[in-house]
Amino acid sequence: MSQGKDDFGIYENCDFTKEMELEERERRKAPKGVSAAWEALEQARMRSENSHTTVWHNLSEVQRALDKQLSGVLKTIHGRLLNVSQEVENVRQKTTRCKAECGNELSDRLRVLEERNALEPVLRQLAEVKQEQSRASALLDTALEQTRNLSEILCTKCPAGWQQFAKTCYFFSTTNQPWLAAKRSCNDFNAHLAIVDTEQENKFLANHIMDDRVFWLGLTDTDNESKWQWVNGRSLSLSFWNSGEPNNAGQQGEDCATIYSNGLWNDIICSSAEAWICERSC
């Protein structure tokens, strides 16, 4: 910018010099009256030249002052730009670190979520299996309870050759023995001589007896005459004695009970050999 102004000043001085030479020639050619006018013009020109020089000098000073001021402003701006640049670099580095750290954290969270998503079907299946197991367990408990109730009504475990009534198994012998021997035989089968608890049971026993036979029951008054007891120690409460029985007939007495095919009972000598009925639970 300064060089352009200097070149312009050179061109302008050259033109001004040419004008002065032309004016000098004209002034010499002019008459004396005109000479005074030329001198006045010369003085005006000199003043104009001095004013022009002063103006250019002032402009140069202003330019230097502006250049100096502008240089200071530029230095300040440059310094601020350096600070801003440093701040930007710091922010960039922090952003880079944050990006890496945040990226790792996000990766970890994503991995956890992926693992959780992968486990969810398994957990759902496990929950369904548990529910199914609970339902199956409930059904099994119900079935067991029903089986238990059924086993209380029906007996399905009687040994071969034994007859079932309700929850009890009965064995009707085909040979004869005294009452004590018959009792021991039942014990060998983990059973006991028959004990009658109900009328229905007594009828069941009678229906399995042929007309010409009698069977020992687990009933005796050997320990205490006329105090009949079952072999399990329970006193007699329900009885089906034949008319006039028990009569304890004979010198030896009759201390053991038998049952006939009609369901009636009779007391006879315990040493008599008769068939017997064993009883046991299913």
Q: What is the dihedral of CA 6, 11, 14, 18, to 10 degrees?
A: -150
CATH label of the domain that carries residue 240: 3.10.100.10
Cα–Cα distance for residue pair 282/276, rounded to 1 Å: 19
Report the domain count for the chain.
Answer: 2
Region of 250 on the Ramachandran plot (φ > 0 left; ψ -120 to 50 alpha; else beta): left
Annotate 12-63 with DSSP letters as a single string: HHHHHHHHHHHHHHHHHHS-HHHHHHHHHHHHHHHHHHHHHHHHHHHHHHHH
Q: Which of 192, 182, 276, 269 is nearest to 231 (CA)?
A: 192
At 165-178, the pLDDT tens digits run 999 999 999 999 99
Taking all residues of the chain, what is their mean pLDDT, rounded to a whole number?
80
Beta bridge partners of 193: 278
Q: Which of 203, 190, 174 is nearest to 277 (CA)?
A: 174
Q: Among 57, 91, 125, identify where a domain stops.
A: 91
Residues 170 and 273 placed together within one structural domain of the fold: yes
Beta bridge partners of 172: 277
Query: Positive or negative, the Cα torsion across 206, 217, 186, 232?
Result: positive
Q: Which of 123, 126, 122 is nearest to 134 (CA)?
A: 126
Structure tokens at 68: 């100096």
The pLDDT assigned to 41 comes to 73
Residues 85 and 172 placed together within one structural domain of the fold: no
Structure tokens at 38: 């030329």
Residues 81 and 180 placed together within one structural domain of the fold: no
At 92-140, the pLDDT tens digits run 777 677 666 666 776 777 677 667 666 678 778 778 878 887 887 788 7
The pLDDT assigned to 258 comes to 98
Residue 156 maps to a domain: no
Residue 226 maps to a domain: yes
Domain holding 53, by residue range, is: 2-91
Residues 77 and 176 placed together within one structural domain of the fold: no
Amino acid at position 264, single letter: L
Q: Among 35, 59, 91, identify where a domain stops.
A: 91
pTM of the model: 0.48
Residue 124 maps to a domain: no
Q: Among 61, 91, 121, identify where a domain stops.
A: 91
Residues 172 and 77 placed together within one structural domain of the fold: no
CB atoms near residue 258 (< 10 Å): 25
Residue 134 maps to a domain: no
Residue 108 maps to a domain: no
